[in-house]
Amino acid sequence: MTPILHNYLVVGAVLFVLGLIGFLTRRNLIILFLCVEMMLQGVALNLVGFGAYHRNFSGQVFTILILTVAACEAALALALVLALYRRQRTLDVSVWQALKEPEVEADIEETPPEEPAPPPPEFPKLTPAGLEPKAKQVEDAVHV
């Protein structure tokens, strides 16, 4: 194995492993999609490296096919993500575990109940300033 092929394989393997770790640890649908794309790019890089090592264009042809399929997959995945987001208003994968088969138990994290909102603060009530006029004086002032 030449040092050039070794470099291709190491970088491709690193891309694939980082994508795999991201896919297994994340819960956001868009992040999962990006991790799958990263794994696909790692495989494509390995194919190009093997094509260059064997001095033929089969690796490059397979890479072009992979990129074509990845473009179609990206369009379908983003359309699916948008449809799922419009339905539940979240991109969390655990919300969609209800779509599993009936005999498989759903693993949905329990959210703690929300605490009731505290009552609004009562502001102090001020007493009116000065003396209040007597009712008789008020009636005389109105009739004048």
Encode the chain in three state secondary structure.
Answer: CCHHHHHHHHHHHHHHHHHHHHHHHCCEHHHHHHHHHHHHHHHHHHHHHHHHHCCCCHHHHHHHHHHHHHHHHHHHHHHHHHHHHHHHCCCEHHHHHHHCCCCCCCCCCCCCCCCCCCCCCCCCCCCCCCCCCCHHHHHHHHHC
| Residue 53 CA, distance from chain mean position | 39
- pLDDT at position 92, please? 83
**Residue (of 51, 47, 60, 46) closest to 14 by Cα position:** 46
CA gap 67, 61 in Å, rounded: 10
pLDDT tens digits for range 76-119: 988 988 888 888 888 888 877 777 777 756 566 677 777 888 88
* 142 or 91, greater pLDDT: 91
Domain ranges of the chain: 3-99
Instruction: Identify whether the C-beta of residue 91 lies closer than 8 Å to the C-beta of residue 26.
Output: no
pLDDT tens digits for range 119-140: 888 877 766 666 666 666 556 6
Instruction: Identify whether the C-beta of residue 63 lies closer than 8 Å to the C-beta of residue 46.
Output: no
How far is the CA of 92 from the CAs of 16, 19, 31, 85, in angstroms?
23, 18, 10, 9
- pLDDT at position 41, please? 93
pLDDT tens digits for range 5-34: 899 999 999 999 999 999 999 988 889 999
pLDDT tens digits for range 43-61: 999 999 999 888 888 888 9
| CATH architecture assignment, domain 3-99 | Orthogonal Bundle (1.10)
